[in-house]
A and B are shown apart, each in its own frame.
Chain A
């Protein structure tokens, strides 16, 4: 009986509040916009009484790919710490992260996902193309949204994923375009060396597309298993084929091993790495001279600390405030941008008055364009079929004197071939 009365009371009150809002009686006293007087419904991972939104993170925090996972998660944290310091989402809901370790093993990613899926509003980070592929069927069944820390073009059309940044395929197409037009690649023998999984396939797709558009052929494709102990066979294969340019799709630990093997064998082609192939520590290692001579990196954004990028100084200030121990790092910036995208979607969901699973998806469709103050390309959102990712890339070369060892060669450009690339409908 009592509960019925309460329900009536709240119904009457909300009608009154709505009328008040409609009559232009803007007695808004908080930053919640037109949602100031409406309490949001509780949802999995959202407790309106405590004012807490919980977000999941599934990332390799140990193992060989932790070199990416740890700084990337730190990037997530710094941005959310900054948001919490401002009062939280919509000025009143604090963000809590629940970070779980996947070790870059799809199997583990699934188990961690099952562990926390019902205690989070969405996943602010899901690292790795293989892990994302593994969890995707369940994301669809459970209708949960996750933001992949992986740039496969496959994600663009997936309604349950919130990707940011230019896809790997675009990185490779833009890099190939630069190589052919400015990098002296005409007439050279071009090869690829890829991790033997979906992540490797993404890069290979980009190179193959560029080969068709720009009329070159890929002489040989050397494949290796992620975290392989030895790269002699692959390096021999590339050396034997007389490769002068090698597009490399790998993760940092493997890059170190592969290039180390190549250096020992006296094999020094022009390497062009996909963004996750590199980490700042490589520019401080024994390989630095070899890298500076041979290695180019296809990525996004600008050098660390570039004053021309509007978002750079605030990021560095927040890094200093919230995580002073974190060294400058390419993946830190990615995690920071990713958290920023998630925040924009959550803000929209609060504005639409629903932090449930449907609400998050609706917010993604209506959020418009996600912006990153120049740290990453703008990403046009809408229904999954109409999303438009950034198609710009930046090409870097290695300079050990720079903060994360990378120096701009060609900044923020879009090739004609990249504009032609179409993103397939979700399977």
Chain B
């Protein structure tokens, strides 16, 4: 009979566990239950829509965190990979009306392939140089998509209505057990189910051999190479997985909005992803989700309750800052503040709180 000690890591196996304690298992179950019940408890379209966007971005942010947070490869090209997924869906889902699993997986595969092509640049370039290359991808992508009119509809964009049925489940309007649910409710479940799937994939990558290799590359790539970590395999691999997740987010984004224009996938979107992982917590998996929720809820709160904040204009056109400007300013300011004051993001705050209670009453 082994004595269970909940507060310490005593051997290597402890580090590898997905759920280290009974509490963590219980909390996962609680979160899942909340996700299942939330659309029923809160059928408000506005908030559901905000949470659906947050879920879509969370999938992309998990991908970026694997690449930048765990492997240390700075990328501003995340919007481009998202666009690849969106337009794969437009091709297969909207035009050829292939079913949901097909276009969703195909988007991930195409995104992964494109990531695999871009990945090798990371073997030659580091830091700022890689950031500039990936920045170029965004503009290259916009140019290509704006001129590929037969697929994208040109700069004016195009409707995107891919089929959303999975067997007897239709995510346009779920009807389960004699009860009908709205599109937003149905989509919420679909998106957050995929968020949990992505979390599981990411968590399993980072707690196993590839994850350790990625972190070694992030911390000291030369040293990692010396001890036998293949830079090529893991850098390109990180690009592939990260882009596949971004593309999956793009596919959901296009289908949820039922319309996309090339301009949707601009530099600001990439910056938003960077914001999410910095605020959420670089180098943590669940931090990506926190960051995406934060990035999604912040503008929503500003636009919903902006009326009670003094310097935001009440009547559009009446002067003062607009909601959009406030968001952009807030994003910039928060990135700076978090990097200076809380570089490990909200996830670190959460872990500190947890540690405090774990060691209570002897927390110093």
Contact = CB atoms under 8 A, between A and B. Distances in A.
A59 B315 CA distance: 13
Interface in B252-277: 257-259, 261, 263-264
B148 interface: no
Contacts of A137: 159, 161, 258-259
Given A105-B263, A137-B259, A129 B156 contact: yes
8 contacts: A61-B317, A106-B156, A114-B49, A118-B45, A137-B161, A141-B183, A196-B154, A197-B156
B323 to A, nearest CB: 7
A101 B316 contact: yes
A187 B92 CA distance: 49
B263 A106 contact: yes
Contacts of A107: 257, 261, 263-264
Contacts of A118: 45-46
Interface in B151-167: 154-157, 159, 161
B45 A110 contact: no
A130 B156 CA distance: 6
A110 B53 CA distance: 12
B317 A70 contact: yes
A225 B155 contact: yes
B324 A101 contact: yes
B322 interface: yes
Q: Which 4 A-B pairs have the closest CB atoms?
A: A61-B316, A198-B156, A197-B156, A70-B317
A62 B263 contact: no
Contacts of B204: none
A62 B325 contact: yes
Contacts of B215: none
B84 to A, nearest CB: 18
A263 interface: no
Tier of interface size on chain B? 20 to 34
Interface string A50-75: 00000000010110001001100110
Given A103-B324, A115-B46, A115-B49, A110 B155 contact: no
A108 B324 contact: yes
A298 to B, nearest CB: 22
A138 B324 contact: no
Contacts of B159: 133, 136-137
A134 B261 contact: yes
A138 B258 contact: yes
Interface string B33-49: 00000000000011001
Interface string B311-327: 00001110000111100
Nearest to A100: B316
Interface in A117-151: 117-118, 129-130, 133-138, 141
Given A61-B322, A106-B261, A138-B258, A115 B157 contact: no
Nearest to B322: A62
A99 interface: yes
Interface size on A, as a range, is 35 or more
Nearest to A142: B183
Contact of A73 (B154, B157, B317): B317
Contact of A197 (B45, B155, B315): B155
Contacts of A105: 263
Nearest to A199: B156
B324 A133 contact: no
Nearest to A133: B156
Given A103-B324, A130-B157, A197-B156, A73 B259 contact: no
Contacts of B261: 106-107, 130, 134
Contacts of B183: 141
A198 B157 CA distance: 9
A115 B303 contact: yes
Contacts of A108: 324
Which of A73, A115, A134 counts the most B-chain CB atoms under 10 A from its CB?
A134
Given A107-B263, A111-B49, 6 more contacts: A61-B316, A70-B316, A106-B264, A136-B159, A136-B259, A137-B161
A101 B259 contact: no
A100 B45 CA distance: 16
Contact of A114 (B46, B161, B263, B324): B46
Interface string B131-146: 0000000000000001
Nearest to A226: B155
Nearest to A62: B322
A19 B306 CA distance: 51
Contacts of A116: 46
Interface in A241-255: none
B179 to A, nearest CB: 19
Contacts of B325: 62
A379 to B, nearest CB: 25
B316 A110 contact: no
Nearest to A225: B155
Given A99-B316, A107-B264, A133 B155 contact: no
